Amino acid sequence: MTSNATNPNLINLPDELLHKIFTFVANSPVLIGPSLCWMLRPLSSEWCHSLDISRSELWNTIAANDLSCDYYAVALHNDETETSKGGDVNRTHANNNKIRALKESSLETKRGVDSKNINDITSSTRPGSSRKRQLPQQQISQTKNTRRSTRLRPATPKESYIHSYNLLLQRTEIALLELTERCHSSKTPQSLSYLQKLLREHSPITINQRVRTGGTLLVELCRARYVPEGGVLRCVRLLVGKFGANPNVPSAEIGTGSFRIVISGRGNYESCFASGGRGSSRNAAMKPSTSTVGRELYPIVIAALRGMFSVVNYLLVHGGANLNVRGSSRFRLFSNQRKSVSGVNLTALEFARKMMDGEVLIGAREEDLKGLRKVISLLEKASKA
């Protein structure tokens, strides 16, 4: 792919075929754009010009079709068979999400200040107020003549895609922050209706991509406090069964998110799609990776050590969770909240056994250990199968 003999043949591929190829390369639709920049842009200056300037139809297709869904439909593990009517409703909902995302991106790019807004600001100021200053008429006229809002707008389809992608990540961060506050609130605990409202208000968002703080929606739901096991199961079924959440995507206890903020460049998400700054490698700012600096934690590990048998069973049977993943964290004991158990690089079964030993050591009641024993038995049978 990097040889001179193959590069001209690849660069001459039509936009539709190149997009089709990278649907097999990227792990999710939202990573197709970053994968193009990470894999093709460093090859040559010809590829840089092709992706930045020439392939406008490619970026328009990616922005219109790939930013509204965070998973591939063929990889979705859904336990409920949908009728044709339900499929039509889902397709209509997806189309509405695409239209909403495009409207938001177009509204965000209009940052210019027109003369009408300036007149409204000056007319709303009271003449007799000493704390509010009116703009002189000469300054208003200079603002009208020198202001060029077109410089703030994306100049190419690629920049428009970057702007839409930034909005997608911002919506995900806001949704995750609101969900985290709700999951740890004793006054207003997390519920299925609130999760549905949250996803409806912030949609579309990236379900399977970690934000800059390292969290994911599915992990936060499994860590929800003051919520019974049945409430957590209903929320997990919604994310996994309907929105395609992947249980094998971990969160990071300490570190950045799915796309690292580069030191050089502008310091925002756009630098993930541009070449690196002076003194840095050319592709260091564009790598679309889900690896983070910190301890990883998986949903099945949290559900296992908390003794949530129904959640663990659903993640294994319908979510396709991997038993061999390892996580690291510290959790409080159920029978004594002032004491905790920590684990480093442990599987769900190993973490559940360690939690069981800690509960037994402090004299926990047998009734409180029923769920944990059922989880250990389930994981032992699944590991032997």
- For residue 46, is pLDDT > 80? yes
The more confident residue out of 209 and 100 is 209
Residues 6 or more apart from 3 whose CB is under 8 A from it? none
Q: How far apart are CA 167 and CA 104, in angstroms?
A: 8
Residue 204's pLDDT is 87
Query: Which residues neighbour 174 within 8 Å (Cβ) at sequence distance 6 or greater?
Result: 202
Predicted pLDDT of residue 139: 52
Report the range of poorest mean pLDDT among 97-101, 126-130, 222-226.
Answer: 126-130
Q: Is the pLDDT of residue 383 over 80?
A: yes
Higher model confidence: residue 68 or residue 379? 379
Task: Tell me what percent of the residues of the chain surpass a pLDDT of 70.
Answer: 66
Mean pLDDT along residues 100-119: 42
Confirm if 218 and 261 have CB atoms less than 8 A apart: no
Read off the pLDDT of each residue in 22-41 and give the average, rounded to a whole number. Answer: 87
59-64 LR contacts (CB < 8 Å, sep 24+): 59/33, 59/156, 59/157, 59/158, 59/160, 59/161, 60/157, 61/15, 61/16, 61/19, 62/19, 62/32, 62/33, 62/161, 63/102, 63/105, 63/157, 63/160, 63/161, 63/164, 64/98, 64/102
Burial of 161 by CB count in 10 Å (0-12 exposed, 13-18 middle, 19+ buried)?
A: buried
pLDDT over 80 at 72, yes or no: no
Question: What is d(CA 225, CA 184) in angstroms, rounded to the nearest whole number?
Answer: 5
Binned at pLDDT 50, 70 and 90, residue 142 comes out as low
Which residues, other chains included, contact 223 with Cβ-Cβ below 8 Å and sequence gap of 6+? 183, 302
**Predicted confidence (pLDDT) at residue 235 exceeds the cutoff of 50:** yes
Q: Which residues make beta-bridge pairs with 303? A: none
pLDDT at res. 208: 87
> Of the candidates 353, 334, 354, which has an alpha carbon nearest to the alpha carbon of residue 342?
354
Give yes or no for residue 67 having a pLDDT over 50. Answer: yes
pLDDT at 338: 87
Residues in the chain: 385
CA nearest to 208, candidates 134, 83, 298: 298
Which has more pLDDT, 111 or 332? 332
How high is the pLDDT of residue 384? 87
State mean pLDDT over 327-334: 88
Q: What percent of the chain has pLDDT over 90?
A: 29
Angstrom distance (rounded) from CA 91 to CA 78: 16
What is the structure's pLDDT at 290? 43
Q: Report the C-alpha dihedral over residues 212, 214, 219, 225, rounded to 10 degrees.
A: -90
Q: Is 312 helix (H, G, I), strand (E, B) or coil?
A: helix
When pLDDT is cut at 50, 70 and 90, the band that residue 80 belongs to is: very low
H helix intervals, the chain: 7-11, 15-25, 32-40, 45-49, 56-65, 84-108, 115-123, 137-146, 157-183, 192-202, 217-222, 229-237, 299-305, 309-317, 348-361, 370-384
- Of residues 319 and 152, more confidence is placed in 319
At 252 the three-state DSSP class reads: strand
Helix, strand, coil percent content, the chain, rounded in steps of 5: 55, 5, 40
- Predicted TM-score of the model (pTM): 0.67
- pLDDT bin (cut points 50, 70, 90) of residue 147 is low
Amino acid 199: pLDDT: 93
pLDDT-derived band at 26, boundaries 50, 70, 90: confident
Residue 91 clears pLDDT 50, i.e. is over it: no
Where residue 362 falls among pLDDT bands split at 50, 70, 90? confident
pLDDT in tens, 274-308: 333 333 333 333 344 444 456 889 999 999 999 99
What pLDDT does residue 379 have? 95
Bridge partners of 178, per DSSP, are none
pLDDT classification of 210: cutoffs 50, 70, 90: confident
